Structure 1
Amino acid sequence: MIGRLPLNEQLDALKSALSRNEVLLEVLNRTAVLKLPGWYLTAGCLFQTVWNVATDRPPTSGIKDYDVFYFDDQDLSWEAEDAVIKTAADTFAGMSADVEVRNEARVHLWYEQKFGVACTPYTSTEAAIDNFAATTCCLGVRLEQDGQWRVYAPHGLSDVFNLVVRPNPVLAPREVYETKTARWRRQWPELTVLDWPSESAAWTPASS
């Protein structure tokens, strides 16, 4: 079972699984050209590719889009982010996938209006990834200038390979977690989805 392998072997297995998704590799390569500060390809396209490989589905099955996060706190205007989004749209033109590029330094400006809870300004792209609704989602990959893969996985990779979805109640509301996991269960019924903790329960992060 890959989830019980040493971490270095899990990293090799992650790269092997993600490399089965040719769309994902193309997004990685095209994003690297943009040279966005602190960027990562992140969220569903990563762990869902692993799920597809683990369950013998086509690597792109059920993946809605490809999320690229970057962090630029020098200009928090919408105009600055929009300029990056438009440049990225040209870069990803002709691809058979939707690629969404967002500046995580601006999230606190709109998060409460959309989700009903306040968001403390992030200090990095990694901090943004830390706040996904499930620890299983807390995963980011990018290509460094030398072509090496940089992987950010603050909760490890065992849950990803074991098809376990674990809640991460640090920011996103319970409804966000339950809405997402309901859709994932329909697409990947093999998943084990853990319940959101009750308010009275003590929260203990997953160990890796």
Structure 2
Amino acid sequence: MIGRLPLDEQLTVLKSVLSRNEVLLEVLHRTAALDLPGWYVTAGCLFQTVWNVVTDRRPTSGIKDYDVFYFDRRDLSWEAEDAVIKTADEAFAGLPVEVEVRNEARVHLWYEQKFGVACAPYTSTEAAIDGFAATTCCLGVRLEQGGRWRVYAPHGLSDVFDLVVRPNPVLAPQEVYETKTARWRWQWPELTVLDWPSRPAIPTPSSS
């Protein structure tokens, strides 16, 4: 199994597998040209490409969109982020997919309204990736000078290659995890989806 390979070999295999998704490669190269601070292409377009290759599907099968995170706290206004989004829309014109670009320095301004739980301000793009609902989702890739791939994978790559989805109850509520995994199970029935952890029971006082 690929997930049992040494980590350096897993990274080599990851690059090889992701390179089979030509749309992803184009997104990576076009994003690099935008020179956004702290950027990564992240989330579903990465681990779902791996799932597709491992299960002998087309590399792009079932991928809804391509997420680009960046981090810029110099101006937290919506107008500043919207200007970047519009520039990115021009850069990604002609691609047969939706590319969603977001400034992770602004997430705390809207997260509670959307998901019902508060989100402390992130300190980096990596910190934002750490907060995904599943540890399997915590993956980011970018191209650096000379074409070197930078891979951020705080929970490793074994689960990604082994088709295991593991909950990450640090921010996103259980409903988000279960909604996402229900769609993923339908698209990739080979997945092993682990249950959201139950809350520990509150001990009751013993009678004397």
TM-score (norm 1): 0.96
- Please list, as runs of the form range in 1=range in 2, the aligned pairs for 1:62-81 lying within 5 A after superposition: 62-81=62-81
The equivalences for 1:1-208 within 5 A come to: 1-200=1-200
1:178-204: CA deviations, max 9, x gaps? 000000000000000000000117xxx
1:36 counterpart letter in structure 2: L
SS at 1:31's partner residue? helix
Runs of 4+ in 1 over 6 A off after TM superposition: none
Query: Deviation of residue 146 (structure 1)?
Result: 1.7
Unaligned 5+ runs, structure 1 = 202-208
Secondary structure of 2:169's match? coil
Q: What letter is aligned with 1:117? A: V
How far apart, in 1, do the equivalents of 2:52 and 2:58 lie?
Answer: 6
Return the offset for 1:161.
0.2
In structure 2, stretches of 5+ residues that fail to align are 202-208
CA distance in structure 2 between the aligned counterparts of 1:141 and 1:162, rounded to whole angstroms: 19
Amino acid of the structure 1 residue aligned with 2:124: S
Shift of 1:137: 0.1
For 1:146 and 1:72, the matched residues in 2 are separated by 24
Counterpart CA distance in 2 for 1:42 and 1:194 is: 21
In the alignment of these two chains, the number of paired residues is 201
**Structure 2: distance between partners of 1:33 and 1:110:** 28
Query: TM-score w.r.t. structure 2 length?
Result: 0.96
Percent same amino acid at aligned positions?
86
* CA distance in 2 between partners of 1:146 and 1:101 (Å): 23
Deviation at 1:39, TM superposition (A): 0.1
TM-fit CA distance, 1:145: 1.7
Question: How many angstroms apart in 2 are the aligned matches of 1:63 and 1:167?
Answer: 20
Which has the greater radius of gyration? Answer: 2
